[in-house]
Structure 1
Amino acid sequence: MIAKTPGFVNGVPRVLLQVEGFAVALASIVASSWSGASWWLFAAFILAPDLSILCYLAGPRIGAIAYNTVHVYLGPVILFGAATALAMPTGIALALIWSAHIGIDRMVGYGLKYGDGFTFTHLGQIGRQAQG
């Protein structure tokens, strides 16, 4: 039985969110490949959303807000729509890379952050503290 932590997604809903993350990551990577976008661009930007971690230097609440802002699908969806409407292939590629990053994070269990600290996510606590 999976331990239940109040405030975190557990059990089947957590697994479904992780499978969903895998599906989004896979679809984004495949679409990026089919688009002909540069793999160098992919490699250069796949970790870019994690630069938001630097906002934790301003405190856990500000850090969580910044991290969550770039780790929800709304941003890449808006970018993809705008880049498609404006026929901007680089924007489309960046949106796909961004959504792949978010999907990979969800797949491995990195969720949206709570203001309590970096290790507290909607998918459960991460890091060494989570194993204790």
Structure 2
Amino acid sequence: MFQNKKQSTLVYSTDHGTMCTSCKRPIADCICGQKNKPKNDGIIRIERQTKGRKGKGVSLISGLPLEGEELKKLAKILKAKCGTGGTIKDGVIEIQGDHRQNLKIELEKIGYKVKLAGG
């Protein structure tokens, strides 16, 4: 009888979690560098969100190619320009209130390509 021996590609293992599709190792032990590729397309997106915030809106800035202290410094500058508070969560800057237009202008002055996302 004919058997189709198609090789399967392991994507997730209960022992190791998510697997790299290129080198077939756990993401933590990846040797091919696939996990280090940039996750963004070079465009900074600014959106307004109220979900889970009891109706209070925030402006979310995502897609920044910055990490750590550089991201904190930029967040501090943007909060000062808007005259409001904010925070950083998972690499996304959250600025209290709807300041999308002001944020877009400030980020474009720095040299970033910016899009207003959402409604």
Q: TM-score, normalised by structure 1?
A: 0.24
Q: TM-score, normalised by structure 2?
A: 0.26
Larger C-alpha radius of gyration, 1 or 2? 2
Work out which structure has the larger RCO, using CA pairs closer than 8 Å and 6 or more positions apart in sequence.
1
